[in-house]
A and B are shown apart, each in its own frame.
Chain A
């Protein structure tokens, strides 16, 4: 067997080797390869280009499905219907206590304070309040109505008199109202049962005609009722799927 390369003085003129019958018999395949004159400028094979474009196409699809809308606050592309423009936060079931606390902090602490004790003579307390946990003539329906339409004028809370105005919170959806009510009814030593979003929805529909804030007198005229037992606070997952339908329900009530 000869060395696999021609002597240097033959330069690179490989084709001359191909005419050498002895060598070509020995090195048939190698020589065929060598005789190929196009080294160095083989074009890119067509199949390769096809594969490349297929990969690029797949890449586009993948990004379309799993980019999470290119949002900085989406960490799990599977959990968010970003294409619908829904906020990332509302997509999963939320613990009503957590949501309620957040709603309370954002809206209620100004008057009722983080302690729920209110301000003496100014804003009534929520802790142990019969308006919140029920008792006497107070029903759960009253509580929801107050949140939806507000309350004004003189009222009696835990034997003390208050004369102020609470704005309506109808702009909050049913889930948020139920969450904040569930929160204040179970926080600071209160231990009344949870209020479901469905119940809020029902009351919202029932009191659609009411446009003015309630007064103690007007509420007293409505018989108090207990909210249907929302099983346990753990029933929150059941409430969550209701949320998407509940949201449009808010607009007729506001109209």
Chain B
């Protein structure tokens, strides 16, 4: 142990290396990555998001959806994410170019949402589910987000964006309706925009067995 000075130097410089490897390197590579042009439509992979969906990301962040819902499909031989139907392929860096912030998540208290827009494209379903999750899935432990909705008296014609088919204890009384706030609309637009139904060369779809 007379090599302590050497140890000292080696360790501190390697310590600085984590800065290079885990911060500078992704900054320079992943941070400069570009979307792939989509020959079909002249668009890009991943597709750009509507303004409403971008606003929805902020609602997603403000209400902490990420603490129960991950947004990543892990690689296939190691995990069963693809077999579980979370998405058709492993998600890779390019999939997250449009995300701000990136909601990779660390918990699956609720299901993964990587591909929720493809699994469940129905707006009304999402509104119903956010308003009262247990009426859609009775064993769900998702909290209700009723505070993103407004119960109001129907004035003349029912509103076009009122939620259809509410049945639970918080369903509107006759003559009343539940309409989503701007935040709720943005959140649902964001959820529906979550699709991984486009190909990326760096993440081939595994052969179906």
A-B contact pairs, 12 of them (CB 8 A): A44-B1, A72-B29, A74-B202, A75-B92, A75-B202, A75-B203, A78-B77, A79-B75, A79-B204, A95-B199, A95-B205, A105-B39
Docked-complex contact B75 and A76, CB < 8 angstroms:
yes
Bound complex: CA A104 to CA B39 (Å): 9
- Nearest CB in chain B to that of A101: its residue: B39
Contacts of A98 in B (CB 8 A): 199
Bound complex: CA A78 to CA B201 (Å): 16
Docked-complex contact B30 and A72, CB < 8 angstroms:
yes
Question: What total of chain A residues lie within 8 Å of the partner, measured CB to CB?
Answer: 24
Contacts of A109 in B (CB 8 A): 39
Q: How far is the CB of B32 from chain A (nearest CB, A)?
A: 10
- Nearest CB in chain B to that of A114: its residue: B39
B24 within 8 A of A: no
Interface residues, chain A, with chain B CB atoms under 8 Å away = 43-44, 72-76, 78-79, 88-89, 91-95, 98, 101-102, 104-105, 109, 114, 237
Bound complex: CA A152 to CA B206 (Å): 41
Contacts of B29 in A (CB 8 A): 72
Bound complex: CA A73 to CA B29 (Å): 9
Docked-complex contact A102 and B30, CB < 8 angstroms:
no
Docked-complex contact B1 and A92, CB < 8 angstroms:
no
Residues 1-52 of B contacting A (Cβ, < 8 Å) = 1, 29-30, 37, 39-40
Docked-complex contact A78 and B39, CB < 8 angstroms:
no
Bound complex: CA A43 to CA B90 (Å): 49
Contacts of B154 in A (CB 8 A): none
Q: Identify which of B39, B40, B92 gathers the most chain A CB atoms within 10 Å of its CB.
A: B39
- Nearest CB in chain A to that of B202: its residue: A73
Docked-complex contact B75 and A78, CB < 8 angstroms:
yes
Bound complex: CA A202 to CA B71 (Å): 46
Docked-complex contact A93 and B207, CB < 8 angstroms:
yes
Docked-complex contact B75 and A101, CB < 8 angstroms:
no
A contact patch SS: loop
B99 within 8 A of A: no
Bound complex: CA A94 to CA B199 (Å): 10
Bound complex: CA A93 to CA B37 (Å): 21
- Nearest CB in chain A to that of B21: its residue: A70
Bound complex: CA A88 to CA B205 (Å): 13
B93 within 8 A of A: yes
Q: How far is the CB of A234 from chain B (nearest CB, A)?
A: 9
B173 within 8 A of A: no
B102 within 8 A of A: no
Q: How far is the CB of B34 from chain A (nearest CB, A)?
A: 13
Bound complex: CA A75 to CA B199 (Å): 15
Bound complex: CA A91 to CA B51 (Å): 37
- Nearest CB in chain B to that of A240: its residue: B207
Docked-complex contact A237 and B201, CB < 8 angstroms:
no
- Nearest CB in chain B to that of A87: its residue: B201
Given A75-B90, A76-B77; 10 other pairs, CB 8 A cutoff: A75-B75, A76-B90, A89-B202, A92-B205, A93-B204, A94-B204, A101-B40, A102-B39, A102-B201, A105-B39
Q: How far is the CB of B123 from chain A (nearest CB, A)?
A: 30
Residues 148-189 of B contacting A (Cβ, < 8 Å) = none
Contacts of A76 in B (CB 8 A): 75-77, 90, 203
Contacts of B205 in A (CB 8 A): 92, 95
Bound complex: CA A102 to CA B199 (Å): 11
Bound complex: CA A21 to CA B119 (Å): 81
- Nearest CB in chain B to that of A236: its residue: B207
Bound complex: CA A241 to CA B194 (Å): 33
Docked-complex contact A92 and B204, CB < 8 angstroms:
yes
- Nearest CB in chain B to that of A109: its residue: B39
Q: Contacts A76-B75, A78-B75; is A89 near B204 (CB within 8 Å)?
A: yes
Bound complex: CA A4 to CA B207 (Å): 70
Contacts of B77 in A (CB 8 A): 76, 78-79
Docked-complex contact A237 and B203, CB < 8 angstroms:
no
